[in-house]
Amino acid sequence: MLSITAKKTFAVLKGTIFLLVLYLLQTGVFTHLRINDVVPLLLPAGAVAIALIRTDQSGGVWGLLAGLLCDMSVGDSPLMCTLFLGAAGLSASYLAQYFLARTFLTFIAVTGLTLILLAAVQMAPLIIFAGVNVRVLLPVAVLQTLYSLALSAAVWPLAQAMVSKRK
């Protein structure tokens, strides 16, 4: 039987591999499958999935890792996704621990909310500092959110297979 340290190390390794697989899909595959020049984001769904499955405070740490990878793939503003997904992962894990069921529908709802809020966070600097009209940004944000959410449906079973539940 594995020791506690080996089990934790293996769980961290599996979670890291899960996020790296999503990163490679997001940057290597789906950058070539654009819809109206929009690329889907899979890493926010990965952060939410880990947070819901593990239901402990490590959801924030996994969110930070997913956000760091997301920032590397998007390249807009450094640390925006890192901080946002860290907070989203921590919030999702807290809610899953006390209030939410750990089901596919909960995953889709929380991922949808995360993607909507992330789109708002991404648009805010462009609206405030660059003076870009909301009507120009909103169709892109809606398309990216819906495209990402549709592909997120495949993230949940992958997460359940790869991420260790907290015992």
User: In this predicted structure, what is the pLDDT of residue 41?
Assistant: 96
pLDDT digits (tens, 9 = 90+) for 17-72: 999 999 999 999 999 999 999 999 999 999 999 999 987 778 999 999 999 999 99
Question: Whats the size of the chain, residue-wise?
Answer: 167
Please state, in angstroms and as integers, the Cα–Cα distance from residue 52 to each residue in 61, 77, 93, 121, 124, following that order. 13, 27, 5, 22, 28
- In the chain, the domains with their CATH numbers are 10-162 (1.10.1760)
Region of 153 on the Ramachandran plot (φ > 0 left; ψ -120 to 50 alpha; else beta): alpha
DSSP state string for 98-155: HT---SHHHHHHHHHHHHHHHHHHHHHHHHHTS---HHHHHHHHHHHHHHHHHHHTTH
pLDDT tens, position by position, 69-122 = 999 998 777 789 999 999 999 999 999 989 989 999 999 999 999 999 999 999
Q: Are 121 and 84 in contact (CB under 8 A)?
A: yes
Structure tokens given for 79: 């640390």
Q: Supply the pLDDT for residue 26.
A: 95
Reading the block at residue 121, the tokens are: 């966070």
